[in-house]
Amino acid sequence: MIIQPANNTKTDVPSDCPTIIFVMGPTAAGKTDLAIECVEQLGCELISVDSALVYRGMDIGTAKPDVQTLQRAPHKLVDIIDPAEAYSVGRFREDALREIKRSLERGKTPLLVGGTMLYYKALQEGLSELPEADAGVRARLDEQARQHGWQYMHNRLAEIDPVSARRIHPNDPQRIQRALEVYEVSGKNLTDFWRLQSPQGLPWNVIKIAFFPEDRALLHARIDERFQHMLELGFINEVENLRSRGDLHLEMPSMRCVGYRQVWEYLDGKISRDEMIERGVIATRQLAKRQLTWLRKENNCNFYDIDQGIYHKILKNLKNSLFS
């Protein structure tokens, strides 16, 4: 069913400008399936908006499309860095803009698909000049987190930047660390940087499609089922292989991806298999909740329930918008 009428509302730019498409939504909502349909029926080209899919060798736990799917529908910005490397929102914006322009030059319609909502925000609004990562500051913050826990670090963030603390979940150590790092390096909090940024809207018409489940229990069931399926596919072996490299640890951005920490701790013998599954599912549900919170703030967005039968309606609306 459609939760909000799909008007294919676009950004306020000249009507003769090219059109790009966003397919957004929480994890396990069916974004990739719709995107593949758009490739095959509309000739779109896909650009991933997912901070986990950038990592090579992290395939199962990130629900990365398999090799056959990527052959049918190639995704840009997938498998572009090693798990030992960091990938920033600024680099994403630069990479995504480059791929959008290349796709438009080929006469294609770029379709951006994924659930990393901060990336969409940065793409649409631009970025302030945030300070570069500081390895020394990060190491110190990591040590403080090891000693006191991330809830303590989140409480520290609430003291210096209450707006960011309300937006960043206490179970999101990567963003807690970055917000504290920005403050320690620059003396200004992250909210001040966002307020000072100059608007940098996209120069194209944008059609926003978002999956927003009316029945949250259905989304939770999908999350549970997918986590079990990941285990059947060999998720534990995948983490074991990453762990055995010797150059990765749990404080790295790649290993903070949902599910990886829980399996790593299971392999370390810190938790049981049942606890690993429970914590992995809970962490994934928390991620979905944060994604839905972001989506509520999206303007000019066409919301749909997570019913696979709705794909036909969405595709029809997109065809009318792109080709009429």
Predicted structure pTM score: 0.81
| pLDDT value of residue 110 | 98
Residue ranges of domains in the chain, CATH in brackets: 19-127+198-323 (3.40.50.300), 135-196 (1.10.20.140)
* Residue 309 DSSP code: G
pLDDT at 130: 76
Q: pLDDT digit string (tens) for 180-224?
A: 999 999 898 988 887 766 556 799 999 999 999 999 999 999 999
Which range has the worst mean pLDDT, 45-49, 115-119, 288-292, 309-313? Answer: 309-313
How many CB atoms lie under 10 A from the CB of residue 135?
9
Q: Percent of the chain at pLDDT above 90? A: 75
Question: What percent of the chain has a predicted confidence (pLDDT) above 70?
Answer: 93
| Distance from C-alpha of 75 to C-alpha of 86, rounded to nearest angstrom | 20
The tokens for 25 are: 């939504």
The candidate with the shortest Cα–Cα distance to 125, out of 177, 199, 65, is 199
Q: Binning pLDDT at 50, 70 and 90, where does residue 169 land?
A: confident
Q: Does residue 162 carry a pLDDT above 50?
A: yes
Per residue, the 3-state secondary structure of 15-64, as one string, reads CCCCEEEEEECCCCCCHHHHHHHHHHHHCCEEEECCCCCCECCCCCCCCC
- Give the chain's mean pLDDT: 91
